[in-house]
Structure 1
């Protein structure tokens, strides 16, 4: 089914400037998701990258502080998802969990460090996460027999940190 160029332009506008998801934009314009995805892909191949334009529109519209907050919030969502996966996978040995937690804390610190200049309020949370990372590494290296207990108390402690600093 052929669509008018105005329909394609409307899907693009909704996605890029109104920040509506591509699926919802397609629904609003009575276009299939596969068609909207194809339009987006073809536009990118022609040099009209909708995702880059969307990011630029966010920067221009919200300011760098809100963008940094959104990026940090997105990372925290992924962080929590990973934590949930670590805590629910009973097949992982405690030492592996501690190593994964240390790596996750390192990623968190790097993300926070990148946003620290824009969002100085994240410094306290970054310090708290750095301490948790150092403690995980210390337990892994010096007291591996306590790794399981550390993993057990880490999730509720992480919730406390989020209440205090998040």
Structure 2
């Protein structure tokens, strides 16, 4: 099913300006995650990188705490990519893998520790966001008939999370 351009624009806005995960933005706009992911990749190929737009939006209008959160989010993304590569790549010698994992763990722990001093609510907010994303994925997989109701509740619940965790 072809979606109108305005739907694609709504997904982009939710991702870039509302800083929703792509999965939640897609669900909120009534499209599949695969469609939203394809749109994001096609946009990047044509010069509209949604991740860079999201970062620029945050940096242009955000406080030091917002910038700290964005930097932490970037670290977590890089951490996961590195872990995936270390797990997948069987050409890395085991001894080197151990060294790389130890170095990665050390960098991660130091960054999280520093982040907690600057952004004490980050740990709680990250946990809350992870739970919401896991719930969205669970509903999409096991109870797709309830996706619309979940989306309807998600936005006001997001406001509650923002009040609680900043």
TM-score (norm 2): 0.47
Larger radius of gyration: 1
Greater relative contact order (Cα < 8 A, sep 6+):
2
TM-score (norm 1): 0.47
